[in-house]
C-alpha cells in the first residue's frame, strides 16, 4: 500500500514539473517533448518530501485522514465522515467488544424524570376510633395481612360505656315488648325503647364492631369489652406506631397498610407533549436502583392544569409490581411513546464517545485500525442510544472496552502526535 502511494505521487509530481506553457518553456523550440521531459528532470528529494507531507509514515494512513495527528478536524466533519486511528498493536479480542448496529422499530417519544409513589387507592391509615389502652398488638412491620385480620386489641372506657348502654337498652326493649303485648303500656313507650336500642347499636358500629360482635355482647355473662382493630384491606404493614400497653388518643394513627402489587409513577412532562397524551399509553421506566431493567406501565391520570411556575404537566402512570422489587420514592427516567412506529438505529451507550466536538463511534477497519466516525445521536433508552445519522444497519462498532481507542485518538494533545511543528 505504501509503495502504491509513493508511485502515484511521483507520477503526479513528474507531470506537474514537466508540463508547462510552450512560450515559457525553452525546450519547446527544440525537438524535445515539453510534456514528457526526461526522467532525470524530476527531483527525487522533492518527491519524497511531498510524499511525506501527504502520508503519515508513523501511523501508515493518509495525513489528511490521520486522527492522531489532527483530532481537532473532527469538529469540521459532518455525520458519516471520520478520521483513522492506528493502534500500536491490535487489541485483544477479549478487551474490546464489537457489536452490530441494530435496527428496531421505534416511535416518537418524550422523556422526563419519574418517581414511584404508593397508590392512594391501595393505601390505608388505621387509627384508634376512641381513646384507650392497647392491650395486644398482633402484627409487625412487613406483616402481610388479609382484609379483616386483627391488628390490635384496644380497651377503652368509652367502649365499656357503649356496651353497657347496649345491654341496658336491650333489657328496656324486652320489657316494653312484654308490657305492650299485654296492652299495659302505650305503643309510644315501645317505639322509644326501640329507638334507644338502635342508637346504642349504631354507636358500637361506629366504633368498628360488626353486627355479630354486637349481638355477642348481649349474651349472658359476656364481660371485658374490648375492640378488635382490623385491617381494612389486604396488604402489607408499612408503618407501626402501636405499642402494647400504651395509651392512645382517639384518631391517633396506629398502622399504615399498603397493597404494593400496583404502584404509581409521578411523571413531570413538558406542556408540549399534552396534545399527544392519552390514557392507557405505554410508559417505560429506567430506575436508578435497578440498572439495565426496564419497567413498563400505563398512563392512568393526566392533570387538569399545567403548573404555572414550571410549565410542566403532572401525569400518573400505573406500574405493576408483581415481584415486589419496586419501592415508593424510587427515582429514575420515564419515556412515553407518542407517535407511530418508525425504523431506528441503536447502539450500546458505551459505544458513543463524547468529545469537545461531536460524538464519535469507532468502526473497525483492520485489526489495528479504526475509524473515529462522527455521528448524530438521538434518544437514550436504558443502556442504548439512538443513532440518527452516521451509521448503517449491520455496521460494527466498538462498545465495551473501547476507551483505549479514544485515548489513542487524543494522543497529540499530550504531545505524542506526529504532526509537524
The H or E element containing residue 198 is helix 187-207
Interval 302-333: pLDDT, tens: 999 999 999 999 999 999 999 999 999 999 99
Pairing assessment for the beta strands 247-248 and 360-366 based on DSSP bridges: unpaired
CB count within 10 Å of CB 167 equals: 15
Q: If you search the block for the grid coordinates 485489526, which residue do you land on?
A: 367
* Nearest C-alpha neighbor of 145 from the set 240, 64, 4: 240
349-376 confidence digits (pLDDT tens):
888 888 778 899 999 988 888 898 999 9
Beta bridge partners of 32: none
Burial (Cβ within 10 Å: 0-12, 13-18, ≥19) of residue 41: exposed
- Which is more confident, 109 or 250? 250
pLDDT at residue 35 tops 70? no
Question: For position 13, what pLDDT does the model report?
Answer: 42
Binned at pLDDT 50, 70 and 90, residue 224 comes out as low
Strand order in the sheet with 150-155: 227-230, 150-155, 132-137, 247-248
Q: Is residue 240 within a helix (H) or strand (E), and if so which, with residue range?
A: strand 235-240
What is the structure's pLDDT at 315?
A: 95
First to last CA, the chain: 27
State which H helix or E strand residue 13 sits in.
helix 2-18
Short-list 293, 292, 389, 299, CA closest to 336: 299
Q: Could you give the domains of the chain?
A: 2-57 (no CATH), 70-102+344-414 (2.40.420.20), 109-120+260-342 (2.40.30.170), 126-255 (2.40.50.100)
pLDDT exceeds 70 at position 32: no
Beta bridge partners of 299: 317
CA distance 301 to 303: 7
Using CA of residue 69, residue 71, residue 73, residue 74, what is the dihedral sign?
positive
pLDDT given for residue 43 in this prediction:
53
Instruction: Give the containing element (helix H, strand E) for 16.
Output: helix 2-18
Contacts of 159 (CB under 8 A, 6+ apart): 130, 132, 207, 225, 226, 227
Angle at 114 between CA 110 and CA 120, to 5 degrees: 125
* DSSP secondary structure string for all residues of 60-123: TEEGGGBTTT-GGGGGGPPTT-EEEEE-SSPPPTTTS-EEEPEEEEEEEEEEEEEEEEE-GGGE
Amino acid at each position: 500500500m505504501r509503495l502504491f502511494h509513493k508511485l502515484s505521487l511521483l507520477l503526479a509530481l513528474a507531470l506537474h514539473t514537466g508540463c508547462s506553457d510552450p512560450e515559457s518553456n525553452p525546450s519547446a523550440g527544440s525537438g524535445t517533448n515539453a510534456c514528457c521531459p526526461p526522467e532525470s528532470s524530476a527531483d527525487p528529494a522533492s518527491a519524497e518530501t511531498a510524499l511525506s507531507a501527504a502520508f503519515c509514515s508513523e501511523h501508515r494512513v493518509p495525513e489528511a485522514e490521520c486522527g492522531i495527528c489532527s483530532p481537532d478536524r473532527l469538529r469540521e466533519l459532518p455525520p458519516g465522515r471520520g478520521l483513522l486511528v492506528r493502534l500500536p498493536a491490535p487489541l485483544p479480542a477479549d478487551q474490546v467488544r464489537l457489536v452490530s448496529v441494530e435496527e428496531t422499530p421505534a416511535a416518537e417519544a418524550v422523556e422526563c424524570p419519574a418517581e414511584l409513589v404508593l397508590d392512594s387507592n391501595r393505601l390505608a391509615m388505621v387509627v384508634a376510633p376512641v381513646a384507650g389502652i392497647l392491650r395486644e398488638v398482633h402484627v409487625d412491620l412487613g406483616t402481610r395481612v388479609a382484609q379483616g385480620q386483627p391488628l390490635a386489641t384496644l380497651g377503652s372506657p368509652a367502649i365499656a360505656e357503649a356496651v353497657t348502654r347496649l345491654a341496658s337498652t336491650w333489657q328496656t326493649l324486652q320489657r316494653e315488648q312484654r308490657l305492650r303485648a299485654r296492652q299495659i303500656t302505650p305503643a309510644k313507650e315501645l317505639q322509644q325503647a326501640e329507638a334507644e336500642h338502635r342508637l346504642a347499636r349504631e354507636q358500637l358500629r361506629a366504633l368498628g364492631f360488626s353486627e355479630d360482635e354486637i349481638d355477642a355482647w348481649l349474651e349472658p355473662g359476656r364481660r371485658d369489652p374490648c375492640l378488635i382493630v382490623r385491617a381494612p384491606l389486604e396488604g402489607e404493614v408499612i408503618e407501626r406506631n402501636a405499642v402494647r400497653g400504651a395509651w392512645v388518643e382517639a384518631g391517633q394513627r396506629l398502622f399504615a397498610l399498603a397493597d404494593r402489587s400496583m404502584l404509581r409513577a409521578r411523571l413531570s412532562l413538558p406542556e408540549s407533549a399534552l396534545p399527544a397524551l392519552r390514557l392507557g399509553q405505554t410508559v417505560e421506566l429506567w430506575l436508578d436502583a435497578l440498572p439495565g431493567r426496564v419497567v413498563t406501565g400505563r398512563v392512568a391520570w393526566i392533570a387538569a392544569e399545567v403548573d404555572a411556575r414550571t410549565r410542566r404537566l403532572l401525569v400518573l402512570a400505573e406500574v405493576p409490581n408483581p415481584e415486589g422489587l419496586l419501592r415508593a420514592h424510587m427515582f429514575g427516567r420515564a419515556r412515553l411513546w407518542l407517535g407511530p412506529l418508525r425504523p431506528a438505529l441503536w447502539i450500546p451507550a458505551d459505544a458513543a464517545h463524547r468529545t469537545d466536538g461531536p460524538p464519535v463511534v469507532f468502526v473497525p477497519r483492520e485489526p489495528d485500525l479504526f475509524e473515529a466516525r462522527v455521528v448524530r445521536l438521538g434518544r437514550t433508552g436504558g443502556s442504548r442510544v439512538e443513532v440518527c445519522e452516521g451509521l448503517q444497519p449491520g455496521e460494527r462498532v466498538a462498545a465495551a472496552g473501547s476507551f483505549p481507542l479514544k485515548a489513542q485518538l487524543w494522543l497529540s494533545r499530550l504531545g505524542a502526535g506526529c504532526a509537524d511543528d
